Amino acid sequence: MRKFLISIPMYFFGAYALLGYVMLMLIFIGILLTPLLGSILDIDVLGNVISIFEVLLNGGAVGWITLAWTFGQFFIAYALHKYLRSILKT
């Protein structure tokens, strides 16, 4: 029963971390495809990413905290997944 109760949040945090990594890869692929398909589809992924960083960094301390939390939450989820997996193996 203990293993079952630990495995539920472990898999949740693992899936959440994986979601963050997939989103990061999709943004990277979108940036790479912008020169090829930007004029056809009217997309500007790099410009949107730069404007998000610009707005957050101009927000002062709250912007910095939001920036750290927005991108750090996936790493925290992965660390929790690893910690729960180590508990599960013992």
CB atoms within 10 A of CB 60: 9
Q: What is the pLDDT of residue 61?
A: 92
pTM score: 0.77
Give the tens place of pLDDT for each residue, 5-56: 888 999 999 999 999 999 999 999 988 988 888 778 888 888 899 998 899 8
| Host domain of residue 36 | 2-89
Domain count, the chain: 1
pLDDT at 13: 93
- Per-residue pLDDT band for 2 (boundaries 50, 70, 90) equals confident
* pLDDT for the residue numbered 26: 93
Comparing CA positions, the residue from 53, 80, 82 lying closest to residue 68 is 53
